[in-house]
Structure 1
Amino acid sequence: MTLAHPLRRLAAAALVGALSVVSVAACSGGDDPVTDNKDLDDDGDGEVSPEEVMAAAKAKLDETTGVEITLSTDDEPDDGDFLASAAGTLIADPPSFEGEVAGRVMGTDASDIAVISADGNLYVEVPVVGWQELDPDEFCAPDPGMLLDPDNGVSPILTETEDLEEGESELGGDDNDETVTPFTGTLPGDAVRNILPCAEGDDFDATYRIDADGYLTEAELTGEFFAGMDEITYVIEVQDYGVEQEITAP
């Protein structure tokens, strides 16, 4: 097997797999818990339920022009390919992505692998070889440029999470000066497989942190993302909503 092939597997399968559970962070947030935000009380009963919070977070994600995301894990399985980190820009219209990934493939560490999705095509910059076009279907994964699609992208995961429970509000944000509220729940494996068909777990533990305005600031997801590997916990953050950037094919 050539060097290009395993690195292409890492950049395509690991990146788009991890982005399938991506969350985004808001650039604002008030002092009160999100459940005190009556603007999110859709049914008018005077209370903001966890389900209404998730619906609001989904709507804000669906409405954004783009996001900046980062993903990381402190877990490092003894064996097998895995994603260690990812960072990049995801744009809604036209659907596109530009970023870098790092991880392990075929027992070899790889870092700073550039990936671009533009005009419906996916590209990875393989060291020594250069830019290569990939077919996401070959890697049982979606095109990352489509992950802001409101029907078939990431946001439906928020409203498909079951057994939601509100936790105690805490401080968060870049300067630790925003009030965020954690919500825990269980994400069915089928919901993940709608975006990542090869996800192995029957369900995934999820903790979402929502700021006072209803923006998702962080997601912590634990489960069996890759076949034959132990459970992995990923923490995904985005530093900004409303990102605008022109992304073109290499």
Structure 2
Amino acid sequence: MTLPLRTIAAAVLVGGLTVVSVAACSGGDDPVTENKELDDDGDGDVSPEEILAAAKQKLDETSGVEVSLGTDDEPDDGDYLREAEGTIIAEPAAFEGEVTGRVMGVNASDIGVVSVDGDVFVEVPVLGWQTYDPTEFCAPDPAQLLDPETGVSPILTATENLEAGESELGGEDNDETLTPFTGTVPGDTVRNILPCAEGDDFDATYRIDADGRLTDAEITGEFFSGMDAITYTIEVQEYDVEKDITAPE
């Protein structure tokens, strides 16, 4: 069952990698580019870099997040992640969720993944819960993806050539003012989390609410060897989550 574990490990990573998104719990009519509280250098201009730095800080300070991700892209060959959802807790670091995708050429759904106390468990069909070492499969411990130094939030501040787009309405009730930011994430930054990522760089689009929280992210690039570029979209339904996650029995 090595290949399923490898596939699920990579899937969990991608779910966490684009984990850089958090749904806003509040917002306002003014776009984030007019939020003077984010003007760190006091020059009167809220730059894209200042906004992404604020979004990173909010991720770093949260107790946990509820996340979901998916892709409309389906590679012709190979195993891949189609959908994932779950909870990441910052302290103590833990993860609990499910993934869906193609494993050994067969569609698989609702595969459980839990990480607590440095142990990662995958619910392998027929065999039940199995432990694995993520480093053997070029994947991180998903519970560590909210770590401010080695997790995914540093991707925000590593994004280059940032440009702000035109603000738009979004959110669950389409009543939040969201501002898109586009840029390029260096492949080396991605490889800090996914050592086997093949791309030299990844295209990213972030949408940030009026309070400086990231609401969703699209990251496009060559995540898996032998596959064309894939775009993953992440949404987080809840911020500041608290949950007691325990190892499966």
TM score, norm. by length of structure 2: 0.97
User: Is contact 1:38–1:48 with CA below 8 Å preserved after alignment?
Assistant: yes
- Does the alignment pair 1:190 with 2:188? yes
Aligned ranges 1:1-250 → 2 under 5 Å:
4-22=1-19, 23-250=21-248
Identity of matched residues, %: 73
| TM-aligned CA deviation for residue 178 of structure 1 | 0.3
Q: For structure 2, which runs of at least 5 residues remain unmatched after alignment?
A: none
Q: 1:94-144, CA deviations, whole angstroms, 9 ceiling, x for partnerless residues?
A: 000000001112211111000000011100111111100010011011100
CA distance in 2, matches of 1:230, 1:63: 35
Give the secondary structure class of the aligned counterpart of 1:247: coil
Amino acid corresponding to residue 198 of structure 1 in structure 2: C
| Number of matched pairs | 247
CA distance in 2, matches of 1:70, 1:113: 14
User: Is contact 1:7–1:110 with CA below 8 Å preserved after alignment?
Assistant: no
| TM-aligned CA deviation for residue 87 of structure 1 | 0.3
User: Is contact 1:183–1:208 with CA below 8 Å preserved after alignment?
Assistant: yes
User: Is contact 1:65–1:93 with CA below 8 Å preserved after alignment?
Assistant: yes
Q: For structure 1, which runs of at least 5 residues remain unmatched after alignment?
A: none
CA distance in 2, matches of 1:210, 1:166: 10
Deviation beyond 3 Å, 4+ runs, structure 1: none
CA distance in 2, matches of 1:18, 1:48: 30
CA distance in 2, matches of 1:6, 1:237: 28
CA distance in 1, matches of 2:128, 2:235: 29
CA RMSD of aligned residues (A): 0.9
User: Is contact 2:18–2:218 with CA below 8 Å preserved after alignment?
Assistant: no
CA distance in 2, matches of 1:157, 1:13: 18
Give the secondary structure class of the aligned counterpart of 2:67: strand
User: Is contact 1:69–1:239 with CA below 8 Å preserved after alignment?
Assistant: yes
163-172 vs 101-110, which moves further: 101-110
Give the secondary structure class of the aligned counterpart of 2:215: strand
